Structure 1
Amino acid sequence: MNTQLKSQPTVFVIFGGTGDLNARKLAPALYNLYLEGWLPEQFALIGTGRTKLTDEEFQGRMLNDINEFSRTGKVAEDKWAAFGPHIHYQAADVQNAETYRDFGKLIKKFEKEWQGPANVIYYLAVAPNFFPIIAENLAKAGLTEDADRTRIVIEKPFGHDLESAKELNALLARIFEEKQIYRIDHYLGKETVQNIMAFRFANAIMEPLWNRDHIEHVQISVTESLGVGERTGYYDGSGALRDMIQNHLLQLLCIVAMEPPVRFTAEEVRDRKVDVLRAMRRFTPETVREQAVRGQYGAGWLEGQKVPGYREEPGANPQSNTETFAAVKFFVDNWRWQGVPFYLRTGKRLHRSASVITIQFKDVPHLVFSPETVETMRQNRLIISIQPEMSIRLQVQAKRPGVDMMLNTVDMVFDYKGTYQTQAPEAYETLLLDVMLGDQTLFMRADQVEEAWDLVMPILTSWQNRISQNFPNYSADSWGPEDAEALVAKDGFHWLTLPLNGKK
């Protein structure tokens, strides 16, 4: 229990309090933080939305949401009796500046009850077009003036392209200091993602191998078996490159490729991530065609059910040029990684939902065993599974039991379920706690966002200007378009997948 945090009264104002993000992620995360003693003794949760609700009605909604989506299961009556009264609701039209004064009055009411100032966290769980409106109206109402106690949390997508990201950063910078702005990426809150840095920088055996002399290539795959479904309205203006690679996958790449920070502080870690993005080789129209592949799923069968293609999803454009699959080969042009390809892949309606980072090491320089002995031998691999299982496995060669010398690949495995009895926190629990603590280590800085957009803009521009003539080009329950396999095959590799439950 953090005694410093317990003594800091806190008010959460959740814009979009009646929305899906609060229901599925924020409400359960805040409740679980409360259960484990991480919330301050004096706190209030204020949900906002256009729907008119009483505090009791909103509390009932949140109770139902927590019962359905919390990792800790059904809420105990005594726990809810203590937690529920902290929840409040304020109906508001976020485009009306006058309604923000009601938030100020409510915050002042709590501060008077608590006999001291409170930290105030504004969480924007709303559509991106409301980000600037809410930020400006908060400022007009005088709710952003205390830079030490006021914080704003912004969900992705942060901008639609480089220009819009710069505009949003500039607007926020006029209202807030950078230390107040938390650009959230839930992938960075996942337990296994955080463990990558611990695994790299707390173990002396890893750092000497973590470079171009020993690593042949790196793969980062985030695949989904689900389709777009009801999200076509959002997704058709986004696509796989914007929705996943520009933020989630590039963040994972930065953690894998970053230099060791001098200290584990927010600015040190974020400086090293920005260094990676700045070192990454930029694309030209020619290299886009050589190093980037897009795809769109067609109809097919998944788990015994016939599923529609993307263009047949509800509300989809029958001639849509939006990619639901993207694979890109990146290079980091610095001393550590020169010449090592980083292959990033993401897509929907694929064979399996999984998030896996695979680091493949080079072959041994001289093989002393006979060809018959090493028939099933593979190169060493470090496989970091983020989901569905959370594990880190190092694949090495060992002698198979028997009187003859036969080598076989075996896994040295660290997995959370087998090692720890306690449940790992959800990503949003970790990130919301960091916001309360004022720790920005796992949040993107303005320059990091802009560098990531700058990197992918040539690909986006090329794909927007060049209509694909072969969409749809992969079926449901596949691993994507053939060109994606060719992307790695021409370098002598293939896409690697973690077997179900780690079994071969």
Structure 2
Amino acid sequence: MIDRLAVFGATGDLTARYLLPALAALRAAGHLHGGFRLTGASREDWDGDRYRAWVTEQLDRHGAFCPADARRAVAASAHYRQADVTDPADVAAVVAGEDPVAVYLALPPALFPHMVTALHDAGLPMGSRIVLEKPFGEDLASARELNLLLAGLVPEQAVFRVDHFLAMTTVQNVLGSRLANRVLEPLWNSTHIAEVEIVWDETLALEGRAGYYDGVGALKDMVQNHLLQLLCLVAMEPPITLGERDLRDRKVDVLRSVRLLTDYDIAHRTRRARYLSGRSGGHTVPAYVDEEGVNPRRHTETFAEVELELDSWRWSGTTFRLRSGKALGQDRKEVAVRFRSVPHLPFGHEGAALPNVLRFGLEPEGMTLDMTGIGSRAQALTPLSLTARMEPPALPAYGRLLLDVMRGDPALSIRGDEAEQAWRVLTPVLDAWERDLVPLQEYPAGSDGPPPRPHEGEQRPRSALLHPEATPDDAV
């Protein structure tokens, strides 16, 4: 197990809100011993004392759920070096040593190629690992280039393209619910499931993140990574084991089966929008274009929705809707599996049977099954909901991911070909939006989002079963 972590971007929001509390949780759970060493690297002209004071402050603010002695131990383990992430000499000084090191790039994605190039020149101790946050590249071409750079630095098994959604308890329970329950797995197909909605709607607006968000937008920030990962877990074939190879092979199969969207599909099956001024989450929210640091000419979307279909035996005929939006009227963060209606109701006109919906709540975590039962009057149908409360996780999501990095288990990280396949799915959408094929709608902050498309419900012709780039071998 590696006991040395070097974080580049060590004074940023990601480190303060997630990485430091995760380290404190690991310490409290006994996963980090006294020899653990944290090296923070950033542009600020700080010394070690100032950095440790900053770490203490952030842990008190964001990691108060951890015991005080664990927070103090993490702060005491912290060291600091001022560094230019593109300068091999600076980078070498941070990672220097004989023992392997886990290098965490808590940086804007645009800096990844420069940072990896600097690591090439600096060199890494044998057995080191590298951790990257999403998004992995800006498009398919840049993802491939980044993967080539990484392949020349460390083995694929030592590359951790992390997505903290995969470490959420409820996300893990998606697999547990369908794979460990006889009552669900026989129904987990298009014969019984009409639609799957994967939604991350939030009342939260930009909250000062224009420096990152305005260059990315909702499609790249949420759909291309987090929501596609959830799609993989919902739609994958049962793996032989949950080991990294079996699990990630099945996830790649799902992404390869996604039918590529044509321009016609994109015009009819995607939406993009950005919020106007209004009230959301109990606060007055300015229009997105008036937020500090936003460039209105970029036409950055704060709402993105994409409907996908899979060309597979299990899922042909089921719609997968991926949606994420900011500054909406209510938080809705869930995977909703909508089952088809029963073929016949013997209850006359005494109420209506609603389709069964199995909901995996992401935040807050939980499970709910919406179904229909008999009400107080005989043969009168009434909605019922069965709710399961989740036990609090032993570790926060980032704690689980960091533990996997230290132990060298990449099962919950994104493999290189998986990252490329995710871009293959959404690059046509990005290209079409860049050409304004889909209008940029607007919605008031605090509303339910943009209005539905006027052509909602139209059927489109099926594409060829094979993807354009597929070879006969791919089809076998």
Distance 2:386 2:367 in 1: 8
Pairing of 1:59-98 with structure 2 (within 5 A): 59-70=52-63, 72=65, 75-76=67-68, 78-80=69-71, 82-98=73-89
Distance 1:320 1:141 in 2: 36
Q: Is the 8 A contact 1:240 1:324 kept in 2?
A: yes
CA offset digits 1:406-444 (Å, max 9, x no partner): 22221222112xxx3x55532101111111121111111
Query: Which residue of 1 is the match for residue 119 of structure 2?
Result: 138
Evaluate the alpha carbon distance shift between residue 430 and residue 163 of structure 1 in structure 2; reply closer, same or farther with a 3 A threshold.
Answer: same
Query: Which residue of 2 is the match for residue 394 of structure 1?
Result: 369
Q: Is the 8 A contact 1:325 1:348 kept in 2?
A: yes
Question: Residue 35 of structure 2: which of 30, 39, 42 is its match?
Answer: 42
Shift of 1:245: 0.8
Query: Which residue of 2 is the match for residue 347 of structure 1?
Result: 325
Does residue 465 of the first structure (1) align with residue 435 of the second (2)? yes
Distance 1:362 1:342 in 2: 14
Does residue 431 of the first structure (1) align with residue 422 of the second (2)? no
Evaluate the alpha carbon distance shift between residue 195 and residue 294 of structure 1 in structure 2; reply closer, same or farther with a 3 A threshold.
Answer: same
* DSSP 3-state at the match of 1:46: strand
Evaluate the alpha carbon distance shift between residue 411 and residue 485 of structure 1 in structure 2; reply closer, same or farther with a 3 A threshold.
Answer: farther
- The letter of the residue matching 1:449 is A
Pairing of 1:2-21 with structure 2 (within 5 A): 8=1, 10-21=3-14
Query: Which residue of 1 is the match for residue 355 of structure 2?
Result: 379
Shift of 1:17: 0.9
Shift of 1:405: 2.9
CA offset digits 1:171-215 (Å, max 9, x no partner): 111111100100011111211111111111111211100001111
- The letter of the residue matching 2:385 is D
Pairing of 1:23-422 with structure 2 (within 5 A): 23-70=16-63, 72=65, 75-76=67-68, 78-80=69-71, 82-105=73-96, 107-108=97-98, 118-144=99-125, 146=126, 149-303=127-281, 305-372=283-350, 375-387=351-363, 389-401=364-376, 404-416=378-390, 420=391, 422=392
CA offset digits 1:370-428 (Å, max 9, x no partner): 211xx1531111111111x21111222222245x3322221222112xxx3x5553210
Evaluate the alpha carbon distance shift between residue 467 and residue 259 of structure 1 in structure 2; reply closer, same or farther with a 3 A threshold.
Answer: closer
Query: Which residue of 2 is the match for residue 501 of structure 1?
Result: none
Distance 1:285 1:383 in 2: 32
Query: Which residue of 1 is the match for residue 474 of structure 2?
Result: none
Shift of 1:104: 4.6
Evaluate the alpha carbon distance shift between residue 82 and residue 322 of structure 1 in structure 2; reply closer, same or farther with a 3 A threshold.
Answer: closer
Q: Is the 8 A contact 2:48 2:80 kept in 1?
A: yes
Distance 1:43 1:178 in 2: 25
Q: Is the 8 A contact 2:441 2:450 kept in 1?
A: no
Shift of 1:230: 2.4
Distance 1:364 1:157 in 2: 41
Distance 1:81 1:306 in 2: 38
Distance 2:72 2:132 in 1: 31
* DSSP 3-state at the match of 1:356: strand
Evaluate the alpha carbon distance shift between residue 391 and residue 143 of structure 1 in structure 2; reply closer, same or farther with a 3 A threshold.
Answer: same
- The letter of the residue matching 1:69 is H
Which is worse superposed, 186-195 or 392-401? 392-401
Shift of 1:32: 0.8
Which is worse superposed, 135-144 or 305-314? 135-144
CA offset digits 1:23-56 (Å, max 9, x no partner): 1110110011101111244211111112233322
Gaps (5+ residues) in structure 1?
A: 1-7, 109-117, 492-504
Distance 2:47 2:284 in 1: 43
Normalised by the length of structure 1, the TM-score is 0.86
Normalised by the length of structure 2, the TM-score is 0.91
Evaluate the alpha carbon distance shift between residue 392 and residue 376 of structure 1 in structure 2; reply closer, same or farther with a 3 A threshold.
Answer: same
Distance 1:98 1:306 in 2: 47
Gaps (5+ residues) in structure 2?
A: 460-476
| Identity percentage of aligned residues | 39
Q: Is the 8 A contact 2:268 2:455 kept in 1?
A: no
Which is worse superposed, 425-434 or 228-237? 228-237
Distance 2:37 2:153 in 1: 24
Which is worse superposed, 348-357 or 260-269? 348-357
Q: Is the 8 A contact 1:298 1:472 kept in 2?
A: no
Evaluate the alpha carbon distance shift between residue 37 and residue 253 of structure 1 in structure 2; reply closer, same or farther with a 3 A threshold.
Answer: same
Query: Which residue of 1 is the match for residue 446 of structure 2?
Result: 477
Q: Is the 8 A contact 1:299 1:475 kept in 2?
A: yes
Q: Is the 8 A contact 1:185 1:247 kept in 2?
A: yes
Count of residues in Structure 1 that have an aligned counterpart in Structure 2? 459
Distance 1:438 1:378 in 2: 46
Distance 2:160 2:342 in 1: 44
* DSSP 3-state at the match of 1:345: strand
